[in-house]
Every structure is written in structure tokens, then in C-alpha cells.
Amino acid sequence: MHAITYERFGPASDVLSPADIESPSPGEGEVRVKLSFSGVNPSDIKARAGTRPGVTKPAFPKVIPHSDGSGIIEAVGAGVDPARIGTRVWIWNGQWQRAFGTAATHITLPSAQAVALPDSVSLETGAVLGIPGLTAAEAVFGGGDVAGQTLLVAGAGGTVGFLALQLAKWGGAKVIATCSPRDFDRASAAGADAVIDYRAEDLPARIHAANDGKDIDRITEVEFGVNIACDAEVIAPNGTIAAFGSALDMTPTVPFGPLLFKAVTIDIILIYLLPDDRRQRMIERLHVALDAGALVCPVEAVFELADCAAAHDAVLAGSRTGAILLCCE
């Protein structure tokens, strides 16, 4: 198989290089997928750059990056139904605790990590479902149904936030979104009942005003450290802050008193570690929403496999309105 690999940490253009590697035959319980698209996520960039605390070198001698992808099963190992051959699938945890991810023409991995893609869903969308899709679904539905609740979606202009907004609205919630003015129209068109500039000095007051003076039942939070003071002010008693990011402040100061006296639950989401039963529930939620036409997964750009470094740079640059993919064919 043809792949993009790295053997040391560093800038994308310095460490990513093409390689031809023997494609592993599927073992017991495994499938080999001919990949169509590979999803590029911020976590892939951090892993390749070596910015995770305490990690000084790659976990494997040669790494193929990326955990998300989509394609067609071309071979199965013992114990896997041969009828899976030829079916369209999307990939989760492709490179989590494994050397070879989806920045390649093929991937071999456990059958459960290649999820049957509904006929109505494109392979491009499939490559967005692993990290962004499952994170958004868990952030919204991790505590159960949200019908009749009010959700605050922080960072609704980002990929996860934009998906969370749509899922929350589809789930029957009132949705208040924060984002930059650039994304106001997108958030409104996606169903937000109110859209607020995340930089507003009186942000808590604006959030309360958008909810008729009432507190918020659940918050999906992309920047926990920066926003926790505001979140503590607007969250309802027994409410939940579902946090999946804190890139701008990884050592936040938490206002424990206000959170304590509201009995707030802080649910920190790392989608790689989602238990199997919960993951399956979120997969089902995503598929139903997609089949219903209630979820759109925008793609900003598709790069050729050989241009993987440019794709990494595009994710690192930020200010995107959709996912970044590699074409693996």
C-alpha cells in the first residue's frame, strides 16, 4: 500500500514522507479497507508535532497518521462475515494506539472499527464521523435525550460545534450558539435559536437574555479553560458542561464554589476512550440524523494523499468552515 508516514516529531513538511508498505492481511476479527478518504483532525496535527505533554518521541518506529476515514472493505479475516466484502464503511480510532492510520491507500483493523455506512451518506461525510461526529454526538446526547432542554453550543463555527448545533436542534432542544460574526449566518441557518459573539464582554448576560433570563441545561464546550467562568455563571443547577477541548488554557482555574452550589457535572470527553456501548449509541444517533437529512458535515477542502503536509497546515491554520480530507484513491 502507499502511505504517508513519519518517524519523528516536527513540522509537517519536515517529517511527513511517502512510503510503500506491505498491506497487512486481516487477522481474526479484522478487515482490510481500501480507503477513499482520510479525515485530518487537530489531534492528528498535535500527535505529529509532538505537542502532547510528556511525549518525546512517536510510540512506533514508523507512523501512518489519522484516525478517521472511509472506504470499501476488500478482505476479511477469520470470524468476519464474508458478506462485508464490498461494503462501504467509515473508520473510527484508526490510529489510536496503533502504528498505521488512514493516511494511506489501505488500512487493516478490527471489524468493529469499520462501521457500515448508510446508503444515503457519502464517503466524504463518512470520513468526518469518527472524531468530529462522535464527539458532537456524545457532547449533546451523552446525558440522554435533550428534547425540551436549552443547550449552549460554544464554538458553533468549528466542525464539532457545527455538528453539535445541528444534532441538538434535531434532538428537540432550544439552541444558543456562540461563534465569531463570520459564522453567524451559518449557525442561524443550521437551526440556532440565538447566535452570540463569543467575544462579547457581557456574554453571560446575553446568554441569559437569549434564554428568557433562565439558566442553561447543558453546555457543549470547545474552550473549557477560557469559558469556565462564563459557563459557571449561566449553567443551571444539576446542569452539565460537556467539554471536549481547552486548547487556549490547558491548566484552567476553576470557580469551584459556583459549580459546587449548582451541583454541576463536568463531563470531559475524549472520544477515543468512549466505552463500546456508549459509542454504539452515538453511532446510531449519527446514522438516524443523517438518514433524516438533519445533519450536514461540511468539507472545506480535499487534498491529494501526496499533499498531506499541506492538509496538516490547513488544519493548523484554523478559520475553517468545514473538514479537511485527503483523497486516498
Asked if 138 and 250 sit in the same domain, the reply is yes
Flag whether pLDDT at 120 surpasses 90: yes
| Contact of 87 with 70, CB cutoff 8 Å | no
Domain extent for 179: 132-272
- What is the DSSP track for 3-31? EEEBSS-S-HHHH-EEEE-PPPPP-TTEE
**Confidence at residue 216, expressed as pLDDT on a 0 to 100 scale:** 98
Asked if 193 and 316 sit in the same domain, the reply is no
Asked if 162 and 70 sit in the same domain, the reply is no
Residue 279 lies in a domain: no
Residue 72 lies in a domain: yes
Asked if 182 and 105 sit in the same domain, the reply is no
Read off the pLDDT band of 53 (50, 70, 90): confident
Determine which of 219-223, 236-240, 259-263, 319-323 has the lowest per-residue pLDDT on average.
319-323
Residue range 154-165, pLDDT digits in tens:
999 999 999 999
Residue range 250-304, pLDDT digits in tens:
999 999 999 999 999 999 999 999 999 999 999 999 999 999 999 999 999 999 9
**Confidence at residue 228, expressed as pLDDT on a 0 to 100 scale:** 98
Asked if 72 and 138 sit in the same domain, the reply is no
Kindly report the CATH number assigned to the domain that includes residue 202: 3.40.50.720
Asked if 124 and 149 sit in the same domain, the reply is no
Residue 32 lies in a domain: yes
CA angle 278, 280, 284 (to 5 degrees): 115
Average pLDDT over residues 5-34: 97
Asked if 43 and 66 sit in the same domain, the reply is yes
**Confidence at residue 318, expressed as pLDDT on a 0 to 100 scale:** 87
The total domain count for the chain is 2
Asked if 39 and 95 sit in the same domain, the reply is yes
Q: Measure the CA–CA gap between 251 and 304, rounded to whole angstroms.
A: 37
Q: For residue 310, how many other CB atoms are within 10 A of its CB?
A: 16
Q: What share of the chain is helix, strand, coil (3-state, %, to 5)?
A: 35, 30, 40
Asked if 99 and 136 sit in the same domain, the reply is no
Question: Residue 121 corresponds to which amino acid?
Answer: V
Residue 124 lies in a domain: yes
**Confidence at residue 54, expressed as pLDDT on a 0 to 100 scale:** 84
Q: What is the pTM of this model?
A: 0.97
Asked if 245 and 310 sit in the same domain, the reply is no
Residue 140 lies in a domain: yes
Asked if 45 and 105 sit in the same domain, the reply is yes
Residue range 231-260, pLDDT digits in tens:
999 999 999 999 999 999 999 999 999 999
| Contact of 84 with 76, CB cutoff 8 Å | yes
Kindly report the CATH number assigned to the domain that includes residue 31: 3.90.180.10
Flag whether pLDDT at 319 surpasses 90: no
Asked if 15 and 73 sit in the same domain, the reply is yes
Phi, psi of 250, deg, nearest 5 = -85, -5
